[in-house]
Homo-oligomer: A and B are copies of this chain.
Amino acid sequence: MKKKGLLIVLSGPSGVGKGTVRKAIFSQPDTKFEYSISMTTRKPREGEIDGVDYFFKEREEFEELIRQGKLLEYAEYVGNYYGTPVDYVKETLEAGKDVFLEIEVQGARQVREKFPDGLFIFLAPPSLSELELRITQRGTETAERIRDRMEKARKEIEMMNLYDYVVENDTIENACEKIKAIVVAEHCRTTRVAKLYKKILEVE
C-alpha cells in the first residue's frame, strides 16, 4: 500500500485556538502525522521557542526566502509575515508521511491552489461573541486591534466554504478528536483508495 502522504491544513480565524489545538494533537502519543513548523516575523510571545513554536525571522530574511520561492505559502497578517517552508513539506509527503500545517486563512487559500487534494480543516469558534471574549482575555491587544480582528474574523468565517471540514473548537479535547477522526476518514475516501483495489482485481 505504497502511497504519498496526506497534506493536512488546519486554519481558522485568529484567536480561535489553532495553536492550542495543534499543540494538544502533537502532545498525544498516537498522533502519526508530522508537524510543519511555520516561519514568522512577529516577535515571540512569552514561552514561545524558536524552532519549536515557529522559526522566528527578521522581515528582510523572510522577504529574501519569498524571492527564492522557498515558501509554500505566506501571508501578511496584522503587520507580520507568516509562512511555510516548502522543502520540508514536499520531502515528508514523498516519504509517505502525513504533514500537518497550522496556518492563517490567507495562506490556506494559497496551499489549496497548489495542493487541491489536500485536507483542509477550518477551526471555528462556537460563536463570534465567544471569539471576541477569547481575544479580549488574551490581554495583549488594544481595543482597536480587537475590532480589526473581529472584522477580519467575519470575512474569514465567510471563507469557510473553501474548506472540506469545519471543526467547532468548543473544547480542545473535542476538537482534537474530530481532527484526528477526519484524518482517519480521509485516508478511506474512495477517490484515494479506488486505484489500489482495482489492482487487486486485476492481479487475481
Contact = CB atoms under 8 A, between A and B. Distances in A.
Main secondary structure of the interface of A (DSSP, over half): helix
B178 A122 contact: no
B161 A194 contact: yes
A204 interface: yes
Contacts of A165: 185, 188-190
Contacts of A163: 190
Contacts of A154: 201, 204
Contacts of A193: 166
A167 interface: yes
A182 interface: yes
Contacts of A188: 121, 165-167, 178, 182
Interface string A155-192: 00110110111110000000001101110111011100
A116 to B, nearest CB: 15
A124 interface: yes
A197 B160 contact: yes
Contacts of A201: 128, 154, 157-158
A194 B127 contact: no
Residue of A128, A177, A185, A197 with highest tally of chain B CB at under 10 A: A185
A124 B192 CA distance: 14
Given A164-B190, A166-B194, A181-B184, 20 more contacts: A121-B188, A124-B197, A127-B200, A128-B200, A128-B204, A154-B201, A154-B204, A157-B197, A157-B201, A158-B201, A160-B190, A161-B190, A164-B189, A165-B185, A165-B188, A166-B189, A166-B190, A167-B188, A181-B185, A182-B184
In order of increasing CB-CB distance, the 3 nearest A-B pairs are A185-B185, A181-B184, A181-B181
